[in-house]
Amino acid sequence: MDFQIAAFLAVDGIANGAIYVLIALGTVLIFSVTRVLFVPFGDIAAFSALTLAMIQLGRLPGTVLLLVLLASIALALELVSLARHRKWRAMPWAVLYYGILPTLPALAAWLLLGATLAVGWQMLLALALVLPIAPLLDRIAFRPLADASVLVLLIVSVAVHFAISGLALLFFGPEGFRTEPLTRAMFDIGGIPVGAQTVLMVAAAAAFSGLLYLYFETTISGKALRATASNRVGARIVGIRPGRTGTFAYLLASLLGGVSGLLIGPVTTLYYDSGFLIGLKAFVGAVMGGLTSYPLTALGAVVIGLLESYASFFSSQLKETLVFASLIPILIWRSVSSLQVEEEEEDIS
Amino acid sequence: MSALLEIRDLSVSYGKVEAVRNVSLEIDEGQIVTIIGANGAGKTTMLAALMGLLPSQGRVSYQGRTLDDVDVEDRVAAGLCLVPERRELFADMSVEDNILLGGYTYRHNKALMRESFEIVYDRFPRLRERRRQVVGTLSGGERQMLAIGRALMARPRLLMLDEPSLGLAPLIVREIFRIIASLRDLGVSILLVEQNARAALETADVGYVLETGEFSLSGKASDLLHDPRVAETYLGGHT
Ligand SMILES: Nc1ncnc2c1ncn2[C@@H]1O[C@H](COP(=O)(O)OP(=O)(O)OP(=O)(O)O)[C@@H](O)[C@H]1O
Ligand SMILES: [Mg+2]
């Protein structure tokens, strides 16, 4: 392998890594705030790309149906639970938040069917269609189990993933899609060809990571999210509702997932079940951060991207194996370093 | 005039075990009421139930309205606040962020936020010095101050304190009790749960003694302080 190839693979790996960064950050965000390891999160990314593909083909994306379905179930659950606690005054708000807001994008997609939109607007529409999915799934599947153990939540999460990818097969069919790229421009950086799409991917990952950091550090709503992750009882006794911050975490994570889907759509052919593998690789990256540290998670995701890229050069059949095998040293390292943390914590209390 | 908090026949169970049985208690505006009792008497359980963290039977009304179907977050917004026994601070965040989040229920009112910060920092200058420090690295006494400071930030009308002197050196205990007594000037009523019976009864107006889930004695704090039954069990025998 000469320098040229190594550099080429590095560019490719960093581009992949950028995507994993977004998805891994979302995974950590959801996990730390809600304790749910949201397995269908990769599906959210695939959904946004496939939804965009449908819009570009002039078809009504199945996501519209999914939203209406999920919103109806979530609204029904919410109204029943409000009625049980005799909170009649909260009902109009429930209708707004669970009934109207999530189905607005569906309505827009239906009205705009067949209209010619600029690529930017198509992307925005696809993103809007994908954003409410995870928060609604949270209300339906996870909120009723708020006090369950992490393991129970994980099992439910796997079940939700199977339901979602089954629906994806129904909505998008078994064939793969690619979306229109925003740009086809190529740069030449020191003799290595770099696509503008790659630059876009890296820039988006950097921008969203930066925004997330600012949000957590400077806004009270971001701090409320961290507080919920840090101590749920503590959050409740200052008046923060873990359920509500959970919804917000899902929304924010969906934004990251949705954007990453839009970014890979033009460079990878995506199928109804592609999301799972993407989500799983991002998860390996997140494990490096112990599912708590955002900077380490981002680093881990980039490493996974690079690893995948070089692995595919040496043996394309074994590339997935190599990526997942890297979990073993990561886990050993994590367990050694977390042992030290536990000892430190014992000293404090 | 009705009491600020009125509890009638409150019972709290963990499964089949009744940890608190048919207790009744009243707190008037501006009063400091203390509950003393041995380990495992049910003090923490009772406060958790009043906060809405545990389900309970019986009638509890606050500011004349029943607290049935009022969740924890709405109780906080109504000025019912708890400093829990385990403190429940946000360990990986800064002192200042912890205090800030105490004011979460009125977060859009920046002027009120600033005013409350001053109230907290004036009472706990130590917290102002350490405002950038991560909470996980604070000393036990500083954490206790922070827990009270965070609760004060919520602008409570009734502040429930669960063993504020737990694990603190005598000098700091005295300081904490001085601050608790001074909260009255802010118009805060207090429900104080303590192991340190002497300090608690010296600070409070009214005292209750909780024994295995039931009140065995109650009365003016100054009377309880000289009651031989209290002296023997809770004041270490000598008075
Ligand atoms: N989660 C729980 N499940 C079952 N029993 C519990 C639980 N929490 C407390 N108890 C029991 O309820 C009783 C009252 O406990 P509580 O914590 O209210 O006592 P306390 O008066 O606060 O004691 P201390 O002074 O030691 O803090 C104890 O017997 C305790 O073992
Ligand atoms: Mg206790």
Distance B44 CA to ligand 2 centre (A): 4
With 50 as the cut, is the pLDDT of residue B239 above it? no
Q: Which atom number of ligand 1 is nearest to the Cα of residue B48?
A: 18
Using 50, 70 and 90 to split pLDDT, how confident is the model at B1?
low
Shortest distance, CA B227 to any CA of chain A (angstroms) = 36
DSSP-assigned states of every residue in A162-183: HHHHHHHHHHH-SS-B-PPPS-
Q: Which atom number of ligand 1 is nearest to the Cα of residue B41?
A: 21
With 60 as the cut, is the pLDDT of residue A347 above it? no
With 80 as the cut, is the pLDDT of residue B99 above it? yes
Q: Which of B66, B88, B137 to mutate to test the interface with A (most CBs of A within 10 A)?
A: B88
In the block, tokens 């909780």 appear at B210
Closest residue to atom 17 of ligand 1, CA basis: B44
Between A330 and B238, whose confidence is greater? A330
Domain map (residue ranges) of chain A: 3-318
With 70 as the cut, is the pLDDT of residue A289 above it? yes
Ligand at shortest distance from the CA of B54: 1
Between A3 and A154, whose confidence is greater? A154
**Does ligand 1 lie within 6 Å of residue B209's CB atom?**
no
Closest residue to atom 26 of ligand 1, CA basis: B39
Subunit contact A238:B150, Cβ cutoff 8 A = yes
Closest residue to atom 3 of ligand 1, CA basis: B14
For all residues of chain A together, what is the average pLDDT? 90
ipTM of the complex: 0.92
Ligand at shortest distance from the CA of B16: 1
Shortest distance, CA B212 to any CA of chain A (angstroms) = 25
Region A44-59: mean pLDDT is: 93
Distance B73 CA to ligand 2 centre (A): 22
With 80 as the cut, is the pLDDT of residue A346 above it? no
Interatomic CA distance for residues A114 and A175, integer angstroms: 22
**Does ligand 1 lie within 6 Å of residue B42's CB atom?**
yes
Per residue in A150-182, pLDDT tens? 999 999 999 999 999 999 999 999 999 998 887
Domains along chain B? 57-194 (3.40.50.300), 205-239 (no CATH)
Residues on chain A touching B69 (C-beta within 8 angstroms)? 85-87
Between B147 and A322, whose confidence is greater? B147
Region B99-108: mean pLDDT is: 96
With 60 as the cut, is the pLDDT of residue A342 above it? no
Subunit contact A233:B101, Cβ cutoff 8 A = no
The token duo for A158 is 């796997």
Shortest distance, CA B169 to any CA of chain A (angstroms) = 16
DSSP-assigned states of every residue in A95-157: IIIIIIHHHHHHHHHHHTTT----HHHHHHHHHHHHTTHHHHHIIIIIGGGTTS-HHHHHHHH
Tell me which residue in B92, B107, B150 faces A220 most closely, judged by beta carbons. B107
Distance B162 CA to ligand 2 centre (A): 7
Subunit contact A224:B104, Cβ cutoff 8 A = yes
With 80 as the cut, is the pLDDT of residue A297 above it? yes
Using 50, 70 and 90 to split pLDDT, how confident is the model at A75?
very high
Subunit contact A230:B93, Cβ cutoff 8 A = yes
Subunit contact B100:A220, Cβ cutoff 8 A = yes
Region A321-343: mean pLDDT is: 78
Ion ligand 2, residue ranges at CB < 5 A: B 43-44, 85
Helix (H) or strand (E) holding A93: helix A91-94
pLDDT (0 to 100) of residue A292:
82
CA dihedral A216, A17, A156, A97 (to 10 degrees): 50
pLDDT (0 to 100) of residue A327:
84
Nearest Cα to B143, choosing from B73, B183, B83, B198?
B83
With the most atoms of ligand 1 within 8 angstroms of its CB, the residue from B36, B44, B192 to mutate is: B44
**Does ligand 1 lie within 6 Å of residue B36's CB atom?**
no
With 60 as the cut, is the pLDDT of residue A312 above it? yes
pLDDT (0 to 100) of residue A349:
39
What global pTM score does this model have?
0.90
Per residue in A206-243, pLDDT tens? 999 999 999 999 999 999 999 999 999 999 999 999 99
Per residue in A79-138, pLDDT tens? 999 998 888 888 999 999 999 999 999 999 999 887 888 888 999 999 999 999 999 999
Interatomic CA distance for residues B225 and B239, integer angstroms: 9
CA dihedral A183, A188, A194, A197 (to 10 degrees): -20
pLDDT (0 to 100) of residue A191:
77
